[in-house]
Amino acid sequence: MSQSSQLSTDSPSPPAVNYLNADRGVWSWLTTIDHKRIGVMYLVSVLIAFLLGGIFAMALRLELLTPGPTIMGANTYNRMFTLHGVVMIFLFMIPAIPGVFGNFMLPLMLGAKDVAFPKLNLLSLYLYWTGATLALAGMIMGGTDTGWTLYAPYSTTTPTTVFPIVLGIFILGFSSILTGLNFIVTIHTLRAPGMGWMRLQLFVWGIYATSIIQVLATPVIGLTVMLVGIEKVGHFGFFDPSRGGDPVLFQHFFWFYSHPAVYIMVLPSMAVVSDAISAYTRKNIFGYKAIAYSSLGIAFVGFFAWGHHMFVSGQSVYDNGAFAVVSMLVGVFTAIKVFNWVATLYKGAIVISAPMIYICGFLFFVVFGGMTGIAVATVSLDVHWHDTYFVIAHFHFIMVGAVIMAFLIALHYWFPKMFGKMYHEGWAMVSAALIVLGFNATFIPQFLMGNAGMPRRYYIYPERFQSLNVASTAGASLLAFGFVIILIYLIYALVRGQPATDNPWGSRGYEWMTTSPPPKHNFHEPVVITQDSHSYQEPGEEVEHVVI
């Protein structure tokens, strides 16, 4: 560790005392205000949520293996896809990258000792746990069959258990707001000396844009689910057409949050890739400012695109057209990022590794998912594809293809920093290949069956779709197998892994300036930033080629 931002690629041995063992006992974890420990607790929590959501997904795929009823009836199936959506979106994807890696890495990247409001940060985690517990309690009490979209008036009249789940979502919203608020203030006030805005790592820029959406959009879903809860219990008629209420208003409220929520999930993923792609090509990021500003651009236009979910809900033609055009602007900003990432790869010293496989997968999925996004944002095409598997495949390309790939990139890239241990690169590459293949096998058939007319949210289907459904289920099994391998080698790495050096990847990210794992207060000496981020070439210095 040196006082400036000069980065060493090796250190003699990992520190004996670090944030993991500075205090001991469960109580020291539950009462910690250390952002790193909170990040680790988020990691464990979201992995449990991911496992749960994954089990629901596999149950859905198993049911769809045959055209008729396979392992469950219609009601169970409806509950299953609702739970899959609620768990994956609210309990996994929204908190995943900001909650885990944002918490852990953001202060390190800024050269700060903690986030601006450490106690508020712990409160966010407890709110997450409270919301998750309520949502899970609702599932145990029978679950609901509304779909994660909770469209009124069905959600206010269904006999299934809606109330605990919407209350859970309401509380999860608070957790998300407080995290975003905390990060914005942290980035504004806790940058180390020498850290100008144009020296922020791109991960920080991405988290900043995400936090703006979290702060501004989440209150609206809070209000919306509150109204659903009140209506369910108190029959206020706000969304009930039999009392003069307007169900389409519900859809506007819902998508005003839930479309930007896509960017709460995707912007951190793009942020991870922007950081990792530079590290794994050992090359300065191409188009730093373009990537940074396009994050803000996506955050901004993302607020005005919600109506593209409602092309067949009775919106005016004028609205449809306006929302379609704004939606396509998101594609422009995303394309800016993709071009810059590809330009970063060009002539880079590409390190063949599991994260690099995921990065390549991510680029393919973002382009493919993004292009089909442009397609479904086209009103005339969407009328045909609406509520078919084509849309399912499209958003899973973004939600799974982009978000999960980025989550895995982040997990592998930062694993040595977080836990001070190295994972087995060979196994990691095997599982990365399995996951990228399995993902394609799962969702490409869904594009085809959707285009051929298979609707979403049905547990039975005409026989002509069976071969595609079998292919999709086989792909999902491959995906699940890949995740199991990851779980095994990461747990093995935690227990038996080789100790990590301070900067095993030779990254120029500021978070690698400290030891692996970091000490309790992040840095042994105050940090002064003297170089730009993502700066791999210094004057007169050869680019180092790392082979793993």
Residues with Cβ within 8 Å of residue 150, at least 6 apart in sequence: 162, 166, 225, 228, 254
Determine, following the binding rule CB under 8 A, whether residue 118 of this chain makes contact with other proteins.
yes
Side-chain-side CA neighbours of 545 within 13 Å: the count stands at 6
Residue from the set 184, 310, 435, 479 that interacts with other proteins by CB under 8 A? 184
Residue from the set 81, 170, 253, 288 that interacts with other proteins by CB under 8 A? 253
Q: Which residue is listed with tokens 């407890």?
A: 126
Determine, following the binding rule CB under 8 A, whether residue 241 of this chain makes contact with other proteins.
no
Q: Which residue is listed with tokens 């700066």?
A: 535
Residue from the set 190, 343, 350, 367 that interacts with other proteins by CB under 8 A? 190
Determine, following the binding rule CB under 8 A, whether residue 244 of this chain makes contact with other proteins.
yes
| Nearest approach, Cβ of residue 238 and other proteins (Å) | 6
Alpha-carbon gap, residue 212 to 190, rounded angstroms: 17
Residues contacting other proteins: total by CB under 8 A: 45
Residue from the set 47, 162, 177, 449 that interacts with other proteins by CB under 8 A? 177
Residue from the set 21, 31, 233, 246 that interacts with other proteins by CB under 8 A? 246
Q: Which residue is listed with tokens 């957790």?
A: 175
Residue number with CB closer to other proteins (168 or 260): 260
Amino acid at 337: K
Determine, following the binding rule CB under 8 A, whether residue 33 of this chain makes contact with other proteins.
yes
Alpha-carbon gap, residue 125 to 119, rounded angstroms: 10
| Nearest approach, Cβ of residue 517 and other proteins (Å) | 18
Of 321, 216, 218, 333, nearest in space to 266 by CA: 333
| Nearest approach, Cβ of residue 364 and other proteins (Å) | 36
| Nearest approach, Cβ of residue 177 and other proteins (Å) | 6
Determine, following the binding rule CB under 8 A, whether residue 236 of this chain makes contact with other proteins.
yes
| 92, two tokens | 């996994």
Of 359, 239, 340, nearest in space to 285 by CA: 340
Determine, following the binding rule CB under 8 A, whether residue 240 of this chain makes contact with other proteins.
yes
Residue number with CB closer to other proteins (64 or 227): 227
Residue number with CB closer to other proteins (14 or 237): 237
Q: One symbol per residue from 401 to 430: x for binding other proteins (CB under 8 A), - otherwise; what is it?
A: ------------------------------
Alpha-carbon gap, residue 282 to 505, rounded angstroms: 9
Residue from the set 25, 26, 68, 119 that interacts with other proteins by CB under 8 A? 119
Residue from the set 18, 78, 182, 278 that interacts with other proteins by CB under 8 A? 182
| Nearest approach, Cβ of residue 221 and other proteins (Å) | 9
Residue from the set 148, 203, 238, 465 that interacts with other proteins by CB under 8 A? 238
Residue from the set 384, 457, 464, 521 that interacts with other proteins by CB under 8 A? 521
Residue number with CB closer to other proteins (253 or 280): 253
Determine, following the binding rule CB under 8 A, whether residue 249 of this chain makes contact with other proteins.
yes
Taking CB atoms within 8 Å and a gap of at least 24, the contacts of 50-56 are 50/88, 50/92, 50/96, 52/87, 52/91, 52/136, 53/83, 53/84, 53/87, 53/88, 53/91, 53/92, 54/480, 54/483, 56/80, 56/81, 56/83, 56/84, 56/87
Of 460, 457, 459, 461, nearest in space to 147 by CA: 457
Which residues within the stretch 75-114 sit at the binding site for other proteins (CB under 8 A)?
Answer: 107, 112-114
Report yes or no: 536 and 282 within 8 Å, Cβ to Cβ. Answer: yes
Query: Could you tell me which residues are beta bridge partners of residue 455?
Result: 388
Q: One symbol per residue from 205 to 234: x for binding other proteins (CB under 8 A), - otherwise; what is it?
A: ----------xxxxxx-xxx--x--xx--x
Determine, following the binding rule CB under 8 A, whether residue 22 of this chain makes contact with other proteins.
no
Residue from the set 48, 62, 74, 185 that interacts with other proteins by CB under 8 A? 185
Question: C-alpha 312: how far from its chain's center?
Answer: 28
Determine, following the binding rule CB under 8 A, whether residue 147 of this chain makes contact with other proteins.
no
Residues with Cβ within 8 Å of residue 455, at least 6 apart in sequence: 387, 388, 389
In terms of phi and psi (left: phi > 0; alpha: psi -120 to 50; beta: otherwise), the region of 348 is beta
Determine, following the binding rule CB under 8 A, whether residue 258 of this chain makes contact with other proteins.
no
Determine, following the binding rule CB under 8 A, whether residue 125 of this chain makes contact with other proteins.
no
Residue number with CB closer to other proteins (83 or 527): 527
Q: Where are the alpha helices (DSSP H) in 303-424?
A: 317-345, 354-376, 379-385, 389-396, 405-419
- In the complex, the residues that contact other proteins under the rule CB under 8 A are 33, 107, 112-120, 177, 181-182, 184-185, 188-190, 215-220, 222-224, 227, 230-231, 234-238, 240, 243-246, 249, 252-253, 521
